[in-house]
Amino acid sequence: MENFIDKLAWIEIKDKKILSTRSKGKDTYYIPGGKREEIKGKKETDEEALTREIKEELSVDLIPKTIKFLEEFKAQAHGKPEGTIVRMRCYTADYKGKLASASEIEGIVWLNHADKLKSSPVDKLILHWLFQQKMID
């Protein structure tokens, strides 16, 4: 599919709020994560890509044995032409280190369900699902 974006997201919840980020120059919040890359002709696994993206964006190391698939969501991609769909594979994981904005990330925020209007379409679905699961307020 040409109009398809395959992404991974790290679902980190604390005090019934989800960790989210805001990129430099943007007013929309995004759950941290990103896309797989091809390294030496080999596509990264979900775990490899997620670990790399989180280290780049938030300066922490996900602990490999704790990475667990949570759910998958699909929605219109934010800021992309109509019909461009993003598929977000969501994972939970423990981490070591101190969360700090890095790379293109300007700020780290903790959101609840009421904050979903500040998020991208796929993140709105994720926040709503987490709220239904009673994982966030």
pLDDT tens per residue, range 54-72: 999 999 999 999 999 999 9
Q: What is the pTM of this model?
A: 0.93
For 39, the enclosing helix (H) or strand (E) is strand 38-39
Alpha carbon separation from 52 to 32, 78, 111 (Å, rounded): 11, 23, 23
* pLDDT confidence bin for 2, thresholds 50/70/90: low
Return the pLDDT at 98: 97
- CATH architecture for residues 4-132: Alpha-Beta Complex (3.90)
* pLDDT confidence bin for 1, thresholds 50/70/90: very low
Return the pLDDT at 87: 96
Is 53:32 a contact under the CB 8 Å cutoff? yes
Return the pLDDT at 94: 98
What is the average pLDDT across 18-39? 91
